[in-house]
Amino acid sequence: MFTGIVVELGKVVQPAPDLVLEAPLTAADAAAGDSISIEGCCLTITTADPPVLRFHAVPETLRRSTLGGLRAGDRVNLEPALRVGDRLGGHWVQGHVDGVGSLVSATPESEAVNLRFSAPAEVLRYTIEKGSITVAGVSLTVVDVDDEGFSVTVIPHTQEVTSLGSLRPGSPVNLEADVFAKYVEKLGFPRASGTIEGVPR
């Protein structure tokens, strides 16, 4: 479990599937078997040799996330798994990618930037205005949402310490919807023939 608060921007040394990252801060307190969120995707450390961390990404992970497109030199958002007693600065994040979206536009507003993302239906069905969403491993608040995508506002600090500041229109991003919305659907609106009873689609 994670909180969507990025600890460090790691550097890709070797692309997936045998992913190798240079991450001094994260590696200093990591061991084989630990879970790390990489761009919002939870992977298990296979070898920790500070400042280097090694992972193995299985085909399912590469199919469902942006990790297969990483290249040597790319910077990636990193967050170690929560420990009991840690502060929950963002929201509950599983590190399970629900879909891949892409940046549509970046519009400056005062010192902040409004980012507009396209998103697949399986993410948008759980996305609400002022709710939480995870973009590339970063916990963000939804400004607005429609049938095609959603927008968020990113402060200068977030632009500087995460990969969001380097996105360009068309850049793909891992998306994870709020897990609580999924449980509400499961418990309150049983599915019938692939739809949700009583909820317009």
Q: Answer with the residue of higher pLDDT: 88 or 171.
A: 171
Quote the pLDDT of residue 81.
96
The percent of residues above 90 in pLDDT, for the chain, comes to 83
Reported as half-sphere exposure (CB side, CA atoms, 13 A), residue 199 has a value of 15
Quote the pLDDT of residue 195.
45
Quote the pLDDT of residue 119.
98
Domain ranges (residues) in the chain: 8-80, 99-188
Decide whether 8-80 matches 99-188 in CATH topology: yes
Question: At 14, phi and psi to the nearest 5?
Answer: -140, 130
How many Å from the N-terminal Cα to the C-terminal Cα in the chain?
30
Question: How high does pLDDT run on average in the chain?
Answer: 92
Contact of 161 with 76, CB cutoff 8 Å: no
Distances (CA, A) of 84 to 2, 48, 100, 121, 140: 11, 22, 30, 34, 23
Contact of 178 with 135, CB cutoff 8 Å: no
Beta-ladder partners of 150: 117, 145
Quote the pLDDT of residue 201.
41
pLDDT digits (tens, 9 = 90+) for 142-187: 999 999 999 999 999 999 999 999 999 999 999 999 988 888 888 8
Name which of 72, 111, 100 is nearest 170 in CA terms.
Answer: 100
Quote the pLDDT of residue 191.
54
Quote the pLDDT of residue 97.
97
One-letter amino acid of 120: P
Task: Give the domain 8-80 fold.
Answer: Elongation Factor Tu (Ef-tu); domain 3 (2.40.30)
pLDDT digits (tens, 9 = 90+) for 64-81: 999 999 999 999 999 999
- Going by the DSSP 8-state scheme, the letter that residue 25 receives in this structure is H
Task: Give the domain 99-188 fold.
Answer: Elongation Factor Tu (Ef-tu); domain 3 (2.40.30)
